[in-house]
Structure 1
Amino acid sequence: MGRLVDGFGRRFRYLRLSLTEVCNFRCTYCLPDGFRKTGPLDFISPLEAERVVRAFADMGVGKVRLTGGEPSVRRDLTHIIARTSAVPGVDKVCITTNGWNLQRQIDGWHEAGLTNLNVSIDSLDPEGFRRITGHDRLGSVIAGLDRALERGMPAVKVNGVLLRDTAASGFDAFAEFVRERPVAVRFIELMRTGDNAEFFADQHVPGAVLTDWLATRGWTRRERELDDGPAVEFVHPDYAGRIGLIAPYAPGFCDSCNRLRVTARGQLRLCLFGELGVNLKDLLEKDEPEALRARIVAALAGKPAGHRLHEANSGDTRQLAQFGG
Structure 2
Amino acid sequence: MFADSFGRRFYYLRLSVTEICNFRCTYCLPDGYDGPPASAFLRRDELRRLMAVFAHYGTRKIRLTGGEPTIRRDLSELIGDARQTPGIERVAVTTNGYRLPTHVASWHAAGLDQINLSIDSLDPDQFQAITGHDRLREALEGLDMALTAGLTVKVNAVYMRGVNDRLGHFLHWLRDKPVTMRFIEVMETGADPGFYERHHVPLSNVRQQLLLEGWQPLVRRQDAGPAQEFWHPDYAGRIGLIMPYSPDFCTTCNRLRVSAQGKLHLCLFGDHGYDLRPWLQHDDQREDLAAVIQAALGDKKATHGLHERDTGITRHLAMLGG
**Same fold per superposition (TM over 0.5):** yes
1:73 equivalenced with 2:93 (yes/no): no
Match of 1:92 in 2: 90
SS state at 1:291 partner: helix
2:58 to 57, 60, 77: 60
Match of 2:312 in 1: 315
Q: Which amino acid aligns with 1:292?
A: L
Q: Which amino acid aligns with 1:311?
A: E
Q: How far apart, in 1, do the equivalents of 2:193 and 2:274 lie?
A: 27
Q: Which runs of 4+ in 1 moved over 2 A?
A: 37-41
1:272 equivalenced with 2:268 (yes/no): yes
2:240 to 233, 239, 244: 244
Contact 1:20 1:69 in 2 (8 A): yes
Q: Which amino acid aligns with 2:234?
A: D
Q: Which amino acid aligns with 1:122?
A: D
- How far off its partner does 1:40 sit? 6.9
Q: Which amino acid aligns with 1:30?
A: C
Q: How far apart, in 1, do the equivalents of 2:304 and 2:88 lie?
A: 28
* 1:218–1:166 CA distance, 2 compared to 1 (3 A): farther
Q: Give the paired residue count.
A: 321
| 5-14 vs 203-212, which moves further | 203-212
SS state at 2:94 partner: strand
Q: Which amino acid aligns with 1:200?
A: Y
Match of 2:171 in 1: 175
After superposition, residues 1-325 of structure 1 pair within 5 angstroms as 3-38=1-36, 41-153=39-151, 155-169=152-166, 171-287=167-283, 288-325=285-322
Q: How far apart, in 2, do the equivalents of 1:167 and 1:76 lie?
A: 34
Q: How far apart, in 2, do the equivalents of 1:181 and 1:11 lie?
A: 33
Contact 2:120 2:164 in 1 (8 A): no
Task: Encode CA deviations 1:170-213: one digit per residue, 9 max, x unaligned.
Answer: x1122122212221011000000000211111111111232133
- How far off its partner does 1:278 sit? 1.0
Contact 2:13 2:255 in 1 (8 A): yes
Q: Which amino acid aligns with 1:165?
A: G
* 1:301–1:204 CA distance, 2 compared to 1 (3 A): same
Q: How far apart, in 2, do the equivalents of 1:233 and 1:39 lie?
A: 37
| 178-187 vs 102-111, which moves further | 178-187
- How far off its partner does 1:244 sit? 1.2
Contact 1:30 1:196 in 2 (8 A): no
When normalised by structure 1's length, the TM-score is 0.96
Q: How far apart, in 1, do the equivalents of 2:286 and 2:200 lie?
A: 43
- How far off its partner does 1:39 sit? 6.2
Q: Which amino acid aligns with 1:191?
A: M
| 238-247 vs 208-217, which moves further | 208-217
Unpaired runs of at least 5, structure 2: none
Task: Encode CA deviations 1:262-320: one digit per residue, 9 max, x unaligned.
Answer: 10000010111011111110111233111111111111101111100011110011000
Query: CA RMSD for the aligned pairs?
Result: 1.1
Q: Which amino acid aligns with 1:265?
A: Q
Contact 2:42 2:261 in 1 (8 A): yes
- How far off its partner does 1:167 sit? 4.3
Contact 2:256 2:267 in 1 (8 A): yes
Q: Which amino acid aligns with 1:127?
A: D
SS state at 2:116 partner: strand
Q: How far apart, in 1, do the equivalents of 2:192 and 2:110 lie?
A: 37
SS state at 1:198 partner: helix
Q: How far apart, in 2, do the equivalents of 1:231 and 1:296 lie?
A: 26
Q: Which amino acid aligns with 1:285?
A: Q
* 1:167–1:151 CA distance, 2 compared to 1 (3 A): same
When normalised by structure 2's length, the TM-score is 0.97
